[in-house]
């Protein structure tokens, strides 16, 4: 029987444990256990996740409103889409809440202030311990006055006044770590395909990229930074532009995995080997990252951990431990795979299991 370290220690298994034991991402576990039909997952992957969850005795519970008076953490997401980010954040909230015997439920508001006020009004007969408000994109938010009656923690967003605690991904540090990883491989001309302009994540990831170059006495070259739009098509087009330069890059940092997919296609069309000719790093750790050829080195977007941290802040506040408004940055882990491995390491890398 599969057994996680947490289980061996007598701790309730989490979605992270299921993902590690099944050899898939947290996003895949969330999509499979929620019954999503939108994700392009093989039957073998779905079956492996379900069997692993059963072996670990991981309980995935769809929870609706309860009127028993039990304390509840309400998670309000601004958007539900094929991206699993808010589902992952909710699972982090839910797992942490269950450890303390607290219920958790999720609602989607589509960033509609009237709908958010209505959601809170409909739950006034319940014992609400607090609210976690999350957004798909890292951005500034302005919440309706109704939130003022509840403890509130923000996930992947922040308020202008800084009046509410916020849990955010450490994008600046992640940009630096990704770039330094490439520098550590001996790459000296590192391109970057960034995300949609005007958003917080691309801005901070670019700052981290620049900091890493400066720390290693490498000059910043604006020609090596190209604007993308998060889609594979822009990764492909921008890679073509980068590689058409007289002195093309020997490494490319893509601000998300989807653009890295397009980058792979362009490099292969040009006859460039990955990573021998050009090393590639992505961002998000989507399920597709491990099934590219070679598998993609990437930074994890820590939505699950962010949800857990938000729940901890609410539980601490409910217990009388209040530290005041602050912004907590959760580190993004580097997952090294074939797209940045050296020749000797590549020789020992097996093909990903189906």
Among 19, 103, 27, residue whose Cα is nearest residue 61? 103
What does the pLDDT look like over 230-246, one tens digit per residue? 999 999 999 999 999 99
Each domain of the chain, given as residue ranges in start order, spans 1-60, 171-301+335-347
Architecture of the domain spanning 1-60: Orthogonal Bundle (1.10)
- The pLDDT, as a whole number, for residue 35 is 63
CA 38 to chain centre: 18
**CA separation for the pair 106, 249 (Å, rounded):** 44
Whether the per-residue pLDDT at 9 is higher than 80: the answer is no
- The pLDDT, as a whole number, for residue 34 is 63
CATH 3.40.50.1370 fits 171-301+335-347, yes or no: no
Within 8 A by CB and 6+ apart from 74, the residues are 104, 105, 106, 107, 119, 120, 123, 128, 130, 131, 132, 150
**CA separation for the pair 9, 169 (Å, rounded):** 29
What does the pLDDT look like over 158-201, one tens digit per residue? 998 889 999 999 999 999 999 999 999 999 999 999 998 889 99
Global pTM reads 0.78
**CA separation for the pair 5, 202 (Å, rounded):** 36
| Burial state string for 94-132 with b = 16 or more CB within 10 A and e = fewer than 16 | bbbbbeeebbbbbbbbebeeeebbebbeebeebebbbbb
For the chain, what is the radius of gyration of the CA atoms? 21
């Amino acid at each position: 029987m599969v057994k996680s370290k947490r289980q061996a220690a007598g701790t309730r298994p989490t979605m992270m444990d299921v993902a590690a034991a099944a050899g898939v991402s947290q996003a895949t576990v969330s999509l499979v256990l929620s019954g999503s039909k939108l994700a392009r997952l093989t039957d073998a992957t779905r079956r492996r996740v379900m069997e692993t969850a059963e072996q670990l005795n991981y309980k995935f519970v769809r929870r609706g409103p309860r009127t028993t008076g039990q304390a509840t953490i309400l998670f309000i997401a601004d958007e539900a889409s094929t991206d699993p980010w808010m589902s992952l954040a909710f699972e982090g909230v839910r797992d942490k809440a269950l450890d303390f015997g607290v219920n958790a439920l999720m609602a989607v508001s589509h960033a509609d202030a009237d709908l958010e006020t209505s959601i809170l009004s409909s739950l006034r007969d319940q014992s609400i311990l607090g609210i976690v408000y999350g957004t798909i994109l890292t951005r500034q938010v302005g919440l309706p006055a109704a939130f003022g009656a509840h403890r509130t923690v923000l996930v992947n967003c922040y308020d202008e006044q800084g009046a509410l605690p916020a849990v955010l991904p450490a994008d600046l540090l992640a940009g630096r770590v990704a770039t330094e990883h490439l520098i550590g491989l001996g790459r000296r001309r590192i391109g970057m395909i960034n995300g949609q302009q005007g958003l917080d994540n691309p801005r901070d990831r670019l700052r981290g990229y620049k900091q890493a170059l400066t720390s290693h006495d490498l000059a910043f070259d604006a020609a090596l930074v190209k604007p993308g739009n998060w889609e594979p098509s822009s990764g492909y087009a921008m890679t073509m532009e980068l590689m058409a330069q007289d002195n093309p890059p020997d490494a490319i940092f893509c601000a998300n995995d989807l653009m890295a997919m397009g980058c792979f296609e362009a490099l292969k069309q040009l006859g460039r080997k990955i990573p021998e000719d050009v090393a590639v790093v992505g961002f998000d750790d989507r399920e597709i990252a491990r099934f590219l050829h070679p598998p993609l080195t990437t930074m994890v977007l820590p939505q699950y951990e962010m949800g857990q941290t938000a729940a901890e802040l609410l539980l601490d506040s409910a217990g009388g431990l209040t530290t005041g408004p602050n912004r907590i940055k959760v580190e993004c882990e580097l997952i090294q795979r074939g797209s940045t491995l050296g020749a000797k390491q590549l020789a020992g890398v097996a093909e990903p299991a189906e």
